[in-house]
Amino acid sequence: MTSLSPLNTVSSAATATKSLRIGVLAAIGTLDPRDSGDTITGLMLGQVFEMAYSMTEAGTLEPCLFAEFLRQERGGAQPVYSAAVRKGIFFSDGTELTAEIAATSLANAGALRGRATVSARDGRVIFTMSGPSPRFENVICQWNTGIVLERQGTLYGTGPYRLAAGTTIQSMHDAGLARLERNPKYRGKAVSDELLFVIQPTDTDGTPRRLIDAAKRGEIDLTLNLSVNDILRHGINGYQPMMQPGNSTGILFFNNERPMFRDVTLRRAIQHAINPIPIAEICYEKNHFAFLAGDLIPPLMGKASGSTEMRDRELLRKHPAKPASLTLLVPWIPRPYLPKPIPAAQEIARQLGAYGIQVKLLETRSSEHYFRSLTVGDYDLSIGGWVADNPDPAEFYESLLSSAQVSTGDQYLTNQSRWRSAETDAALAAYRADPSPANRKVITTMIEREAILIPLIYGASTAIRSRKVKNFHIAPSGHVDFAGVEMF
């Protein structure tokens, strides 16, 4: 296997073999897809580890490592589902996939904790649910449910590529490069011999200057972190832009465990005071009104059903419990739902400052720093968002609103608002069982009434690619299958 090369040897390494160079803004945060929570990690590890089901370009599901869709073995309050694994699939070390290996891997997936107990019997993977989940295939198609074979501390996958020997998180940071090499045991075709993820961190203000310069020098073949605006503004030649509606929402989260935010009238006052229009204008220079969030759920997942209530921007000015200061946690790099996190956070600070509230930005340095802060709840407010991992709106809602998704101890979970409510959980359960417009309206009305969080803007999937690149597609989930991308 090829070892990692220093960044300044990318061009020579790329000419020695058939390589595809992908520009990214950060190294991955973990080598185990089941522990991951950010899009760059999902982008890289999604080439190595496959899921039980995969999402097509049309946004539908199809069996991948499983041979069939789930079969219901038992109904009731705790249903049981099962499926057989596909025959003739091998991990990169030559081990054949079995139901037992799949069950062991899925049992350790963070996305399934508290939702299902996973076991194997008679060549089938068995899911014993903690509650009704009629569209459970949508859960195990997420990239954080990738199926892993762990052997003597090494993680193997069944995907078209494998991690180069000796790859560690630290080696990627040191080299500014992550290399994936073709998996010789993969059952399909991988066009490129290797994928080179060229890591170009942003400037302190979030500007991707190094990535822009790398593109201008022709050192990358494509990136999902630049757009048509970057091509025009910086004179990047030889690249074609791509932009399509995204499946994500940028959000301002209250830390509802803070004593001050137990007062719903204060949350509502801040909700009314925040104007998302300048934030949309900062993040999207052209047609920014099209990206204003009218609902928590992004448009690709259904028509907005949020409130059209007029805002009273003076509620906060006269609120008797208005705080003198707040902290605002900020992601370490641009996200699909937040292209310019620091300027957007500064705009929120400016808006709240007009009401006499001093906002201190907590700018994180890395994925570890960011997710650790979220895990321990070390913030008053957090600006971030959520990308739909699958086409089911119930999963989007539950990830952000369920009491079961509030982080505890050292375990990062996804409810950044740290909102716990039996009423909300009941509404989520009703919507999961029956995803009707009426049940969805109950949730959207509750978000607005309780001011649990504040949807700000919708994300977009953007990319630029060299004119030599073809067969490059972005799935509705924002994921890319690089195995079929060609250079000519």
Of 58-67, 143-152, 193-202, 295-304, least confident by mean pLDDT is: 295-304
213 and 349 share a domain? no
In a domain, 111, yes or no: yes
Domain containing residue 18: CATH number: 3.40.190.10
Q: Which of 153, 170, 196 is the last residue of a domain?
A: 153
Q: Which of 107, 131, 153 is the last residue of a domain?
A: 153
Q: Which of 127, 153, 179 is the last residue of a domain?
A: 153
pLDDT at 302: 74
pLDDT at 12: 46
pLDDT at 7: 45
Mean pLDDT value across residues 183-205: 93
Please tell me which residue, 242 or 361, carries the higher pLDDT value.
361
Going by pLDDT thresholds of 50, 70 and 90, the confidence category of residue 301 is confident
33 and 57 share a domain? no
DSSP-assigned letter for residue 444: H
Whether the pLDDT of residue 9 is over 50: the answer is no
pLDDT at 43: 92
74 and 131 share a domain? yes
Sheet of 381-387, strand order:
161-163, 177-182, 194-199, 19-24, 222-223, 453-466, 239-254, 381-387, 325-330, 358-363
Nearest to 452 by CA among 216, 227, 271, 205: 271
Mean pLDDT, the chain, as a whole number? 91
Domain range spanning residue 286? Answer: 246-459
In a domain, 408, yes or no: yes
User: pLDDT tens digits for 12-62?
Assistant: 444 567 999 999 998 888 999 998 778 889 999 999 999 999 987 777 889
105 and 200 share a domain? no
pLDDT at 3: 39
Q: How many residues does the chain have?
A: 488
Domain containing residue 436: CATH number: 3.10.105.10
User: pLDDT tens digits for 367-390?
Assistant: 889 999 999 999 999 999 998 878
Question: What 3-state class would DSSP assign to 487?
Answer: strand
261 and 218 share a domain? no
170 and 112 share a domain? no
Whether the pLDDT of residue 222 is over 60: the answer is yes
311 and 390 share a domain? yes
Structure tokens at 335: 């996200």
Structure tokens at 325: 């200061």
- Tell the burial category of 3 from Cβ atoms under 10 Å away from its Cβ (0-12, 13-18, 19+): exposed
333 and 361 share a domain? yes
**Rounded Cα–Cα distance for residues 462 and 133 (Å):** 33
In a domain, 255, yes or no: yes
Distances (CA, A) of 396 to 58, 399, 406: 19, 5, 14
**Rounded Cα–Cα distance for residues 67 and 44 (Å):** 25
Strand 61-63 and strand 71-74: the pairing is unpaired
Nearest to 450 by CA among 428, 426, 425, 419: 419
In a domain, 288, yes or no: yes
Structurally, the chain folds into a number of domains equal to 3
471 and 421 share a domain? no
User: pLDDT tens digits for 386-430?
Assistant: 988 788 899 999 999 999 999 987 888 899 999 999 999 999 999
346 and 419 share a domain? yes
Domain containing residue 93: CATH number: 3.90.76.10
Report the interhelical angle of 422-433 vs 393-401 (nearest 10°). Answer: 170
Contact 435, 393 (CB under 8 A): yes
In a domain, 441, yes or no: yes
Mean pLDDT value across residues 448-458: 97
In a domain, 1, yes or no: no
Whether the pLDDT of residue 2 is over 50: the answer is no
Whether the pLDDT of residue 441 is over 90: the answer is yes
In 190-265, beta strands by DSSP E: 194-199, 222-223, 239-254
413 CB-near residues (< 8 Å, 6+ apart): 110, 404, 405, 406, 407
406 and 263 share a domain? yes
Structure tokens at 21: 């160079």
133 and 267 share a domain? no
Whether the pLDDT of residue 10 is over 60: the answer is no
In a domain, 390, yes or no: yes
Whether the pLDDT of residue 305 is over 70: the answer is no
Contact 200, 10 (CB under 8 A): no
Question: What 3-state class would DSSP assign to 391?
Answer: coil
Structure tokens at 119: 């076991």
Mean pLDDT value across residues 268-276: 96
DSSP string, 54-95: EE-TTS-EEESSBSS--EEEE-SSS-EEEEEBPTT-B-TTSP
In a domain, 2, yes or no: no
Structure tokens at 370: 């960011």
